[in-house]
């Protein structure tokens, strides 16, 4: 019907559309395309065809599709596309727990459930916040580039921690971890920013992993080997935070 709304945002009928390319990747796509065009102009077909596939691959890597995020404060949504490779009880990273001099309350150092999501080079690499709230910390840690599937990658690889807090005091930490191929972690937000659930917060170039630290007592609703969709898959369901002095009063 003429004038019908098709926006994939809860109005009208859902319809497929080509995903946009994130601005962070457009320059790489243009460079690859320019090299391909130059090789084609010189009639270097053996080089031009691989460069053409490289251009498509770069554009596909930086694709930024629209996502329909569940609008329920109880839900913790996946911050990344990919495969769930680890579900463990571990203490949160010390960077999210220790006093950093800002006066912002960090996470408790007691063990919580960590859900690890591995992103291959074929997955979307735009990462999103698992809950709505205020970004309390963004901490970048330089490090190695080990295989992101290894458990020790959480402690040794280059990584970036986020701590987001709901209005009732519930906190969730999540970490972008670089891998064998990934060489740069790009944040889109900073401490103090207010974000909506599923909002884009950063990306990791060329394959890696995201760890999510669920609130104490929260059990995941996903399984090892399950595939997740950033901003859509529900990792867990949380209730109201316990009353903390100065919070939720």
Catalytic residue list = 208
Which three-class secondary structure string do you get for 1-30?
Answer: CCCCCECCCCCECCCCCCCEECHHHHHHHH
Q: 8: alpha, beta or left, given left = phi > 0 and alpha = psi -120 to 50?
A: left
- φ/ψ of 182, rounded to 5, equals -60, 135
Q: Is the dihedral of CA 95, 100, 104, 110 positive or negative?
A: positive
Give the long-range contacts of residues 12-18, CB within 8 A, separation 24 or more. Answer: 14/68, 17/66
Q: DSSP character for 219? A: P
């Amino acid at each position: 019907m003429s004038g019908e709304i098709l926006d994939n945002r809860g109005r009208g009928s859902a319809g497929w559309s080509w995903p946009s390319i994130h601005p962070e990747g457009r320059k790489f796509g243009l460079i690859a395309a320019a090299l391909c065009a130059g090789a084609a102009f010189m009639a270097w077909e053996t080089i031009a065809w691989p460069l053409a596939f490289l251009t498509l691959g770069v554009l596909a890597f930086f694709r930024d599709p629209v996502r329909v995020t569940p609008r329920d404060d109880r839900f913790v949504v996946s911050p990344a596309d990919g495969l769930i490779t680890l579900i463990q009880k571990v203490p949160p990273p010390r960077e999210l727990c220790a006093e950093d001099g800002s006066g912002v309350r960090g996470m408790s150092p007691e063990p919580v459930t960590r859900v690890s999501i591995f992103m291959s080079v074929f997955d979307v690499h735009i990462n999103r916040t698992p809950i709505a709230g205020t970004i309390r910390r963004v901490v970048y840690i330089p490090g190695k580039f080990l295989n992101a599937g290894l458990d020790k990658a959480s402690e040794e690889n280059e990584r970036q921690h986020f701590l987001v807090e709901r209005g009732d005091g519930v906190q969730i930490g999540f970490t972008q971890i670089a891998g064998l191929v990934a060489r740069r972690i790009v944040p889109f937000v900073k401490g103090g920013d207010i974000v909506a659930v599923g909002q884009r917060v950063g990306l990791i170039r060329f394959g890696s992993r995201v760890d999510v630290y669920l609130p104490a007592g929260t059990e995941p609703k996903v399984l090892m080997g399950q595939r997740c969709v950033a901003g859509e898959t529900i990792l867990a369901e949380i209730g109201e935070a316990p009353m903390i002095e100065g919070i939720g009063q």
